[in-house]
Amino acid sequence: MNTQDLKQKFGIIGSNALLERAVDIARQVAPTDLNVVINGESGTGKEVFPQIIHQNSARKHGPYIAVNCGAIPEGTIDSELFGHEKGAFTGATEVRKGYFEVANGGTIFLDEVGELPLATQARLLRVLESGEYIKVGSSKVLKTDVRVVAATNINFYQALEKEKFRPDLYYRLNTVPIYLPPLRERKEDIHLLFRKFTNDFAAKYRMPVIKLNADAEQVLVNYFWPGNVRQLKNIAEQISIIEKTREINAETILKYLPQYNSNNVPTVLRNDNFSSGGSSFENADKEIIFKVMRDTRAELNDLKKVVYDLVTAASGKVNKDDVQIMNRIYNGNELSNDNNGMSFTPVIQSGNSNPHVIEVEETLSLQDKEIDMIKKALRKHKGKRKYAAKELGISERTLYRKINEYKIEE
């Protein structure tokens, strides 16, 4: 079965190159018995790929079990995976088979494998290396023949650095990695997916299919989609049910797109077709970002005036030597931080009627200025986050997140 046939059979929509690559790897690795790790953000459809691998393998007639490791409490995860003997712990009134025993001869899908406790990781490593495991409360070694496909949305390298995931288990699991791109990296597929979902919901709820105008399509393409395909499907269902008008414009779409906090530079929605009307979408960090930009500009203007006054105080004009002095002042250790992208280059404006006017061309590190603004607000309000957040124009929760993110000492 080729890649296109697999996509059709399992309902995978899109022609993105990264998605095609993921399906092709799953197709090629399926006949083998290699372990596979599927990496991708929440909502990208990772649960489909273990089924592709299982149903195209020699184990397709054996059991297939999907386990959400993040949903099982730490105290019972070993019992769920490996089983337990009667009386092994309080409430163990009978012998119980674990998933690895039930899935013998088949495939087990461990979703959110990065959430496994370290003790359970050690047990899982033994299963992968020798096929052996021991039930909770037993001393008898049992054997199982199970293929493991795992999935996670965590950054494995960060988990390894923080010692939250065993390196030996990672390398044992990650024999063949499959990467599923987030929806924002599949912009060409967004409209196809939305149209498929709205057609399905129109048939399900027996109502006319909704249609998007050009501006509404652009809104969908430019949105960050933190919830990926799952979020897109939910919004398509909401609009299909709630909106009476079947022709959907950008303003209507924006009502269904929640603001999103990102650690990266904010994604801003802007379309030339309707930007003149003031329609735009920014994430929840916009207030602090705009405040940082305004305050930075004010500080630079004050700095320019001070330096200019100092240089011209004696001679009343700016010459070439003065410009060299100002370059040393602006690019000195006090103001320059090349590692973070901050630099200042004073130049004399050419063609200006006033040759004494100095223009400063600068590139700013937004993160550095944001940290500085947070520190200033905390100092001003003596560490009281509630008032500091109000001063910055953000929520207390956002301020708490940024303090942890930037490791700001109060």
Please, are residues 94 and 47 in contact by the beta-carbon 8 Å criterion? Answer: no
* Model pLDDT for residues 308-365, shown as the tens digit of each residue: 666 556 555 555 555 555 555 555 444 444 444 444 444 444 444 444 444 444 445 6
**CA–CA separation, 172 and 121 (whole Å):** 11
**CA–CA separation, 289 and 367 (whole Å):** 9
pLDDT (average), residues 194-202: 95
The half-sphere exposure of 145 on its side-chain side, counting CA atoms within 13 A, is 5
- Max mean pLDDT among 160-164, 201-205, 349-353, 392-396 falls in 201-205
Instruction: Give helix 385-392 / helix 366-380 axis angle, nearest 10°.
Output: 130
- As a whole number, the mean pLDDT across the chain is 81
* Model pLDDT for residues 69-126, shown as the tens digit of each residue: 999 998 899 999 999 999 988 888 899 999 999 999 999 999 999 999 999 999 999 9
Please, are residues 121 and 152 in contact by the beta-carbon 8 Å criterion? Answer: no
φ and ψ at residue 273, rounded to 5 degrees: -70, -25
**CA–CA separation, 156 and 112 (whole Å):** 11
* Cα–Cα distances in angstroms (integers) from residue 114 to residues 153, 180, 221, 252, in the given order: 8, 17, 31, 38
Count the neighbouring beta carbons within 10 Å of the beta carbon of residue 385.
17
Please, are residues 117 and 79 in contact by the beta-carbon 8 Å criterion? Answer: no
